Amino acid sequence: MTREFDPRPLLDWCTSDLSLLMDCLRRAVEIESPSRNREAIDAMAQFFSAEIESAGGNAQLLEHAEAGCAVLGEFPATAPARSREESRPILLLGHHDTVWELGTLASMPFGVRTGRAYGPGIFDMKSGIVCALWAMRSLAALEIPRRRPVRVFLNPDEEVASRAFRKHLEGEARQCAAVLVLEPAAAGGALKTARKGVGDFRITVHGRSAHAGINPAAGVNAITELVRVILRVTELADPEHGVTLTPGVISGGTRSNVVPEIARVVIDARVPTLKDARRIESRIRGLRPADRHAKIEVEGGINRPPLEHKRAEGLFAQARALGLRMGLDLKEASTGGGSDGNFTAALGIPTLDGLGGVGDGAHARHEHVIVRELPRRAALLGALIATL
């Protein structure tokens, strides 16, 4: 169907409706939604829930006592499925929390300058959600049939590890034929076909305190042992193949004249494959102290599995073919950062990431999207939904 489908009418419709798309995006950005502010998250969830229903879908809010509400939406199929497989939904996956605290709008207001729209959370990733809404609107306006239902899941705590709704998110994904992730594009509008797995290991060494001047031999120096541990862990890294292990925070000891009883390190871990993740987990959890009187305690681990290229390559080929019909020469990219697409890909679900806005400045004060690219991203999403 991809070869026969012409996405240009979708692009024309989305371009003609750009002023309304931008108004929706402005209103979304002006509802600040920091991850750990439940009231703000709930206000953002209510906004997007209403927008899903305005676009012709059904929406419900999933409550959580701490994280706030997730949004679950559905757009029923508009044409009969020809098989049971064809009736499986497509999942549009995003998050409505941001890294910006309440009050940021005062110094970073929404605004459009020289073809770029600025504001907190506009690139990561409110523009992606708005483009998804306009993809659905365009399909309905042009009466383009869809044999698959479209599910929408918006997570309220992606920026702080996706703990509250991970199981629910994974449950949704298991029912779906494919996952389209509304995270922002990579540089130049590239789609993300690989993401590293992400985690952190919190390693604590327990020793024994003693007077550093009178009887140091009676002590077990936790800092000395921790240094040995850090060197052994960093030797497990393989940067040429994308495996990095970065000690980021170290603490230990109380006074210079006391043999330190305890020392800690937090190590950031990035891995490109599940095989790498299993190897690193096993080796770090298997650490043993060089000094038999010391004790090593390991907490944490790989908390976001990698999105491996094989899960995205088919969807990328389809997106690229559709993009060429609209004059887009789409490229693919990999990134060391994680998204909720990592979870769905690890389940074996075909997952394509980076379908949101084109711009720059995620988590930075120059965060922005390129306005002229928004109709193209909405049309691309619509075309993928129509042809999957």
Residue 370: pLDDT band (50, 70, 90) is very high
Does residue 165 form part of some domain? yes
pLDDT at 144: 98
Residues 68 and 147 in one domain: yes
pLDDT at 152 over 70: yes
Does residue 3 form part of some domain? no
- At 176-221, the pLDDT tens digits run 999 999 999 999 999 999 999 999 999 999 999 999 999 999 999 9
**What mean pLDDT is reported for the chain?**
97
Q: Which residues contact 179 (CB under 8 A, 6 or more apart)?
A: 90, 91, 93, 173, 341, 344, 345, 349, 350, 351, 352
Does residue 381 form part of some domain? yes
* Two structure tokens written together for 126: 């409110």
Question: Residue 235: which domain range?
Answer: 197-304
In whole angstroms, what is the distance from residue 298 CA to residue 282 CA?
11
Query: Would you say 28 and 47 are in contact if contact means Cβ atoms under 8 Å apart?
Result: yes
Average pLDDT over residues 262-282: 97
Residues 182 and 117 in one domain: yes
Residue whose C-alpha is closest to residue 203's, from 294, 338, 277: 294
- At 171-182, the pLDDT tens digits run 999 999 999 999
- The percentage of residues in the chain with a pLDDT greater than 90, rounded to a whole number, is 99
Average pLDDT over residues 24-39: 98
Average pLDDT over residues 293-311: 97
Residues 173 and 41 in one domain: yes
Residues 129 and 114 in one domain: yes
- The percentage of residues in the chain with a pLDDT greater than 70, rounded to a whole number, is 99
The total domain count for the chain is 2
Query: Would you say 49 and 71 are in contact if contact means Cβ atoms under 8 Å apart?
Result: yes
Average pLDDT over residues 222-249: 98
Q: Which residues contact 225 (CB under 8 A, 6 or more apart)?
A: 205, 207, 263, 289, 290, 291, 294, 296
Domain boundary among 304, 327, 356: 304
* Two structure tokens written together for 221: 């120096």
Residue 1: pLDDT band (50, 70, 90) is low
Residues 268 and 312 in one domain: no
In whole angstroms, what is the distance from residue 165 CA to residue 179 CA?
16
Residue whose C-alpha is closest to residue 344's, from 92, 157, 15: 92
pLDDT at 3 over 90: no
Residues 43 and 168 in one domain: yes
pLDDT at 174: 98
- At 73-88, the pLDDT tens digits run 999 999 999 999 999 9
Q: CA dihedral in degrees (151, 61, 303, 341; nearest 10)? A: 20
pLDDT at 286: 97
Preceding omega of 125 cis (within 30 degrees of 0): yes
Domain boundary among 283, 304, 325: 304
pLDDT at 300 over 70: yes
Three-state SS for 130-149 is HHHHHHHHHHHHCCCCCCCC
In whole angstroms, what is the distance from residue 380 CA to residue 131 CA?
9
In whole angstroms, what is the distance from residue 322 CA to residue 62 CA?
34
Classify the C-alpha dihedral 283-166-192-109 as positive or negative.
negative
103 CB-side CA count, 13 A: 1
270 forms beta bridges with: 198, 244
The three-class DSSP label of residue 58 is strand
- At 315-355, the pLDDT tens digits run 999 999 999 999 999 999 999 999 999 999 999 999 999 99
Alpha helices (H) in 111-270, listed in sequence order: 127-141, 166-174, 222-234
pLDDT at 276 over 70: yes
pLDDT at 128: 98
Residues 185 and 60 in one domain: yes
Does residue 87 form part of some domain? yes
Residues 289 and 169 in one domain: no
Residues 243 and 283 in one domain: yes
Residues 295 and 342 in one domain: no
Does residue 315 form part of some domain? yes
pLDDT at 356 over 90: yes
